[in-house]
Amino acid sequence: MSKRMESTEVAIPLPTSGGEHTICIPRRRLAEVLAPPRASAQAALAELIHHALASPIGCPALAEQLRPNSRILIVIDDVTRTTPAHAVIPILLEYLTDAGCRGQEITFAVALGTHRPMTEAEIAAKLGADVARRFRVVNTPAQETSAFASIGESWGGAPIEVHRELLAADVVIAIGSVVPHTEAGWSGGAKLILPGLCSERTVTANHVLAAAYAGNALGQDSTPVREQMEVVVARIGLAYSLNLVTTPYGEVVGVFGGHFVAAQRAAVEAARPIFTIPYRERADIVIADAYPAESDLWQASKAIWAGERLVKPGGILIVYASCPEGIGPHGDFLRFLQQEPERTLAELQAGVLADPIAAAIAVPAARMLAHMRLVVVSPGLEPAQFGEGAIVYAHSLQQAVDAALTQAAPAARVSVLTHAGYSHPVERR
């Protein structure tokens, strides 16, 4: 460490999927370093799961919903989520066996939404190698239209097309985590089914609701997207929802089982203090580390929603994410982020876009760019992908920070937000 840095700068470590990344901020310019609080479970994970199964919230016990030879579908979230399903599933399977279920009646399904299918190695890691070997696992992309069947229409005549495995099952169980979410407010509950196991057309119709939302939906108790998810899933049927509160540091501190609305809401109340980060002031420059949601730009964009809550109007938001899978499953997402949002919304409503989901999710973030400048630093992306758009690509995080400090006023203040992909900043009161 140089003598200059020792006296005038603060070294701040940022977590990334590739290891810790350190940046240096002038001490006199640093406002706050913000991170989710550390939390510990009051019981071992196995005990939390057993309690959730024994004490359902808002519905009968799962064992009471089973009949002889019931066909059971267990839905898990995909590789973009940190839910430790491999630790939950053996306990759930033991519970089902004790309730009289036989293994051949159970199928697993990955809630992909419009994400890419998981690899065999990812499935083995997510479910556990033994479970992945013993049971059939459905891993169907939303674009595979033959795998989905219509059950009618919902909002505004939108089609409800769900995976045929859902319709064939007598009992559907969903396992997921509850974290702040950009469209649904919070994840978990109904979200495992819509968008998880619905067709691209149905997912698109649901996501279009996000484009019409006027504000920042991150951490909101109710959003149009969440409300419609729950209306649709009530029609589809979801017998039991297991909602884990998993911290950004990987620790499970709560498990809530039961009705897909009531149990999810209980999990939100437990998750709120884990993910809510009080801040003292908005800063001129905000550095938001998207970890652990940084597999691609589609996931890492969650840091835009979190960072927008911290940056002053006219300020600079610097997002860091490794993005090993590039832009992600929706290649037009970056283009729509840089396009005038009302134009995108008009094209979306006119039905002329090849990737309406990319447009729908980009619109709220593009609106945020009207009152802040965005810099993206990512080894997984290339400058050419950004073109001449409003978003600036930077090769180095430290260079991006230094450039922002040079551009800003001499008294400009800098805040750093770690784990921004799973954070909900709120003003301290």
Shared domain for 240 and 346, answered yes or no, is no
Residue 7 has what pLDDT?
Answer: 63
**Alpha-helix residue ranges (DSSP H) falling in 213-261:** 224-236
Domain boundary among 273, 308, 327: 273
d(CA 305, CA 249): 20
Do the domain assignments include residue 222? Answer: yes
Shared domain for 216 and 326, answered yes or no, is no
Shared domain for 238 and 331, answered yes or no, is no
pLDDT digits (tens, 9 = 90+) for 296-329: 999 999 999 999 999 999 999 999 999 999 999 9
Residue 321 has what pLDDT?
Answer: 97
Q: Where does the pLDDT of residue 113 fall: very low under 50, low under 70, confident under 90, or very high at 90 and above?
A: very high
Mean pLDDT of 233-240: 95
pLDDT digits (tens, 9 = 90+) for 31-65: 999 999 999 888 999 999 999 999 999 999 999 99
Q: What is the DSSP string of 354-380?
A: S-HHHHHHHHHHHHHGGGEEEEEE-TT
Do the domain assignments include residue 216? Answer: yes
d(CA 23, CA 279): 20
In the predicted structure, residue 227 carries a pLDDT above the cut 50? yes
Q: Are strands 180-181 and 185-186 parallel, antiparallel or unpaired?
A: antiparallel
Do the domain assignments include residue 111? Answer: yes
Do the domain assignments include residue 40? Answer: no
Shared domain for 375 and 306, answered yes or no, is yes
Hey, is 148 helix, strand or coil? strand
57 DSSP assignment: B
Q: How far is CA 176 from the centre of its chain?
A: 11
Shared domain for 211 and 331, answered yes or no, is no
Note down the domain range covering 80: 45-273
Shared domain for 160 and 25, answered yes or no, is no
Of the chain, the end-to-end C-alpha distance in Å amounts to: 37
In the predicted structure, residue 5 carries a pLDDT above the cut 80? no
Do the domain assignments include residue 39? Answer: no
Do the domain assignments include residue 135? Answer: yes
In the predicted structure, residue 3 carries a pLDDT above the cut 80? no
Shared domain for 325 and 232, answered yes or no, is no
d(CA 115, CA 117): 7
Shared domain for 71 and 184, answered yes or no, is yes
Q: How many domains does the chain have?
A: 2
**Residue 59 has which token pair?**
């519905």
d(CA 85, CA 175): 7
Do the domain assignments include residue 234? Answer: yes
Residue 158 has what pLDDT?
Answer: 85
The per-residue pLDDT of the chain, averaged, comes to 94
Residue 1 has what pLDDT?
Answer: 42
Shared domain for 184 and 204, answered yes or no, is yes
244 neighbors 230 (Cβ within 8 angstroms): no
Domain boundary among 236, 253, 273: 273
Shared domain for 199 and 312, answered yes or no, is no
Shared domain for 151 and 231, answered yes or no, is yes
**Residue 186 burial (CB < 10 Å; 0-12/13-18/19+)?**
buried
d(CA 96, CA 102): 8
Rounded percentage of the chain residues whose pLDDT exceeds 90? 88
**Residue 163 has which token pair?**
């995976």
Rounded percentage of the chain residues whose pLDDT exceeds 70? 98
Shared domain for 70 and 100, answered yes or no, is yes
User: Which residue is associated with the tokens 């700068």?
Assistant: 9
Note the pTM of the prediction, 2 decimals.
0.94
d(CA 132, CA 130): 5
Domain boundary among 244, 273, 302: 273
In the predicted structure, residue 2 carries a pLDDT above the cut 80? no
In the predicted structure, residue 4 carries a pLDDT above the cut 60? no
